[in-house]
Amino acid sequence: MEQIQVVERVAAVLAALAAGDETGRRMTDIATETGLQSSTAHRILNTLERIGYVERDEASSRYYLGYRLFSLGMSATRRFGLTELAEESMSRLAELTGDTVFLSVRTGLSAMCVDRVVGSYPIKTLTLSVGDLRPLGVGAGSLALLAWLPDDEVARVVEANADEAAKRGDFSREILLELVATSRDAGYTFNASRILPGMCAVGVPVLGRKSRPVAALSVAAVEARMQADRRTQIASWLRVEAAALEQRLGGPQDGLTEAAVRHLLDRQG
């Protein structure tokens, strides 16, 4: 039992670090959030720093997740070869739209960006870097991972994420549930400058065999390039590429045969 408790404490410390931003976290903040004594939090952080999972800035004494841990996380995304399987679709979307394309997956109550392809349009919308985390529902790709879950699971996630989502902007429980309903009706998600002014994004889920989201594809652009007609067109392109990726992950979804998906891709190209 003691060994299990140690693992749980380490996991809590890593989660507290992951919830921080680019300024890092103070040891006292981590101790407070995890409920650990300062001495215990300090020992865990020192051990994680020694093995490369955590880094400490000497000047500020703030802690950050280390690049070694990041590499482990990226290895997890290769479990099903997801980034490799999505590479063709993401490149095609970047070429079609000229904008930035993101691939996201779920990790616990968050969405993680696991790949990004930048289009040719001069104004780049780089709202996410590979490895960035957002609470499920915050952002177009993250919302796509949430909205196509069963209703009871959506409700649990929204409740559990309430405080963290509210820190990211206008994402109250009521608004998140409204965004879920709107996204399902439209067949795609839309982030209308809710995170950064003037930056918008459209997203769709990539569904697995049990029609659960296993990933999300999204396209981000400046607001002027996300007017209604173009937004609908981007959503259409995204849906075709999501269907193609679903095929690569294990079979046709929603009645689309492999031949039908190939025909749509040929037309899209």
Measure the CA–CA gap between 267 and 42, rounded to whole angstroms. 58
The amino acid occupying position 42 is H
Determine the pLDDT at residue 75: 64
Mean pLDDT of 77-96: 84
- 227-231: long-range pairs with CB below 8 Å, 24+: 231/190, 231/200, 231/202
With beta carbons less than 8 A apart as the criterion, state whether 112 and 105 touch: yes
Structural domains present in the chain: 2-65 (1.10.10.10), 73-268 (3.30.450.40)
Mean pLDDT of 129-152: 93
Determine the pLDDT at residue 228: 95
Determine the pLDDT at residue 264: 46
pLDDT in tens, 194-228: 888 899 999 999 998 778 898 999 999 999 999 99
Strand partners, 134: 111
Measure the CA–CA gap between 238 and 216, rounded to whole angstroms. 10
| Average pLDDT taken over every residue of the chain | 86
Does residue 113 carry a pLDDT above 80? yes
Determine the pLDDT at residue 222: 95
Class of residue 170 by CB neighbours under 10 A (exposed 0-12, middle 13-18, buried 19+): exposed
Q: How many CB atoms within 10 Å of residue 196?
A: 13
Among 137, 138, 136, residue whose Cα is nearest residue 127: 138
The amino acid occupying position 46 is N
